[in-house]
């Protein structure tokens, strides 16, 4: 019995000694980790805010290091731009919660801690932002705290003329002072960027109307008029099929004439499936030697600030004295009257095969048109 008791005591002593060694090892590991954490943090998290006290810095570093993978992960795969606004006085916690509600961050607490570590929780920028689900948590934090990292949305609508694009620029505080430069660059006799071969076919003295591609653009607030113009022209170039000029040449048009026709279709059509049909009407009238008589071609020269597309009700369209007015002049206008979208541009290359020579808006408010082969049919399609 005594031997067994001695063995038990020996085993207890051994186990206690091992326990003490383990505790000591953990303590040493902890001390080493604390010593190494600043270096690891600087490498993975940045230097951090100098205002943090040592205890808070250590806790934040430990937490953020453990979640480093999450810092570099996105909340989703949808790359759609999402407008997000921060009002003056909004807290970092409140902003993070709203970002999570909109699916822009998956861990609002992690964002709050990261902002705190960077010392940015107290100066989240007030303003309007464009964010995406595909941005990592770090990128979202940068966008919210660095005014230079923001992107501002510019939406160019199909059928707008270049003056309307300039007005959209002027309406954005981020683009203050850019609108006038944009009008100069895109106006008649303006400088034409040599990098875009399609501009070589413009008529002498023509503006860039027609080639300012309608789309939603994200711009830096510091973007110049030249930078904005380059984005619009680059988008046009990338969207236009490589064989487009050959395809419209088969219909007797060069690129400039095709974009001019597309600009008419853009202002006339409301629904996409009618664009090729309206294109066929224009081709048919040109082939028959008839004037196009497009209402929008009379609107274009009458446009002015606040009323770029004025009502023509009660106006004798033959009284509008302009080369753009297809009621008074044969063939296409001398240039585009708007900036068409891709559907109208492609309708010129792929017109429907019809015998129609006329169309007019239906009376049901649908935006659709009634098409006719003869003038009598056109008259019969009039609203009663």
What are the tens digits of pLDDT across the range 25-69? 444 444 444 444 455 454 567 767 778 888 888 888 889 888 889
Going by the DSSP 8-state scheme, the letter that residue 27 receives in this structure is H
pLDDT at 196: 92
Please spell the DSSP secondary structure of 100-166, one letter per residue. Answer: HHTTS-S-HHHHHHHHHHHT-TT-PPPEEEEE-TTSBHHHHHHHHH-GGG--EEEE--TT--HHHHH
Residues in a beta bridge with 130? 83
Q: What is the pLDDT of residues 149-162, one digit of tens each?
A: 567 888 999 999 99
| Cβ within 8 Å of residue 302, ≥6 positions away | 310, 320
Please, what CATH class does the domain formed by 70-150 belong to?
alpha beta
pLDDT category at 228 given cuts 50, 70, 90 is very high
pLDDT exceeds 80 at position 291: yes
What phi and psi, each to the nearest 5 degrees, are found at residue 131?
-120, 170
What is the pLDDT at residue 177? 83
Say if CB 156 and CB 339 are below 8 A apart. yes
C-alpha of 254 from chain center: 30
Give the orientation angle of helix 255-268 with respect to helix 342-349, to 10 degrees.
120
Average pLDDT over every residue of 113-125: 82
CB atoms within 10 A of CB 252: 11
Give the per-residue pLDDT at 76: 92
What pLDDT band is residue 131 in, cutting at 50, 70 and 90? Answer: confident
Radius of gyration, alpha carbons of the chain: 33
**Beta-strand runs (E) in 291-362:** 358-361
Structure tokens at 104: 């822009």
**Contact indicator for 344, 273 with CB cutoff of 8 Å:** no
Give yes or no for residue 172 having a pLDDT over 90. Answer: no
Which residue ranges make up each domain of the chain?
70-150, 153-239, 254-380
Is 194 exposed, middle or buried (CB count within 10 Å of its CB: 0-12, 13-18, 19+)? exposed
Residue 16 reports pLDDT greater than 80: no
What is the pLDDT, as a whole number, of residue 23? 47
Q: What is the pTM of this model?
A: 0.68
Average pLDDT over residues 84-93: 86
Tell me, what's the pLDDT at 90? 87
The whole-number pLDDT of residue 5 equals 59
What residue has token string 């988008």?
235
Q: What is the dihedral of CA 254, 260, 266, 268, to 10 degrees?
A: -120
- Nearest-5° Cα angle at 320, 316 to 322: 155
Encoding tokens for residue 160?
A: 């707008």
């Amino acid at each position: 019995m005594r031997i067994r008791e001695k063995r038990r005591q020996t085993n207890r002593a051994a186990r206690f000694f091992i326990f003490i060694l383990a505790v000591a090892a953990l303590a040493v590991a902890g001390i080493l980790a604390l010593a190494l954490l600043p270096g690891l943090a600087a490498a993975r998290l940045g230097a951090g805010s100098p205002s943090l006290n040592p205890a808070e810095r250590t806790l934040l570093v430990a937490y953020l290091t453990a979640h480093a993978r999450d810092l570099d992960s996105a909340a989703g795969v949808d790359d759609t731009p999402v407008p997000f606004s921060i009002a003056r006085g909004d807290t970092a916690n409140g902003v993070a919660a709203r970002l999570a509600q909109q699916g822009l961050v998956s861990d609002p607490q992690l964002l709050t801690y990261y902002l705190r570590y960077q010392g940015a929780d107290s100066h989240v920028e007030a303003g309007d932002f464009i964010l995406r689900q595909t941005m990592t948590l770090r990128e979202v934090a940068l966008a919210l705290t660095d005014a230079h990292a923001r992107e501002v949305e510019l939406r160019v609508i199909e059928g707008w003329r270049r003056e309307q694009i300039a007005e959209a620029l002027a309406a954005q505080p981020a683009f203050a002072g850019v609108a006038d430069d944009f009008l100069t660059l895109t106006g008649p006799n303006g400088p034409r960027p040599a990098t875009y071969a399609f501009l070589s076919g413009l008529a002498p003295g023509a503006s860039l109307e027609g080639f300012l591609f309608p789309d939603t653009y994200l711009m830096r607030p510091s973007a110049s008029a030249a930078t904005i113009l380059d984005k619009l022209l680059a988008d046009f170039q990338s969207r236009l099929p490589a064989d487009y000029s050959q395809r419209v040449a088969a219909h007797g048009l060069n690129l400039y004439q095709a974009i001019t026709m597309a600009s008419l279709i853009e202002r006339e059509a409301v629904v996409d499936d009618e664009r090729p049909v309206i294109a066929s009407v224009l081709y048919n009238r040109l082939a028959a030697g008839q004037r196009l008589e497009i209402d929008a071609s009379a609107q274009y020269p009458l446009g002015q600030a606040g009323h770029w597309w004025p009502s023509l009700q009660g106006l004798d369209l033959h009284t509008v004295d302009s080369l753009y007015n297809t009621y008074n002049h044969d063939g296409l206008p001398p240039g585009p009257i708007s900036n068409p979208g891709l559907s109208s541009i492609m309708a010129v290359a792929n017109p429907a095969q019809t015998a129609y020579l006329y169309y007019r808006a239906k009376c049901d408010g649908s935006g659709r048109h009634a098409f006719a082969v003869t003038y009598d049919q056109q008259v019969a399609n009039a609203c009663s």
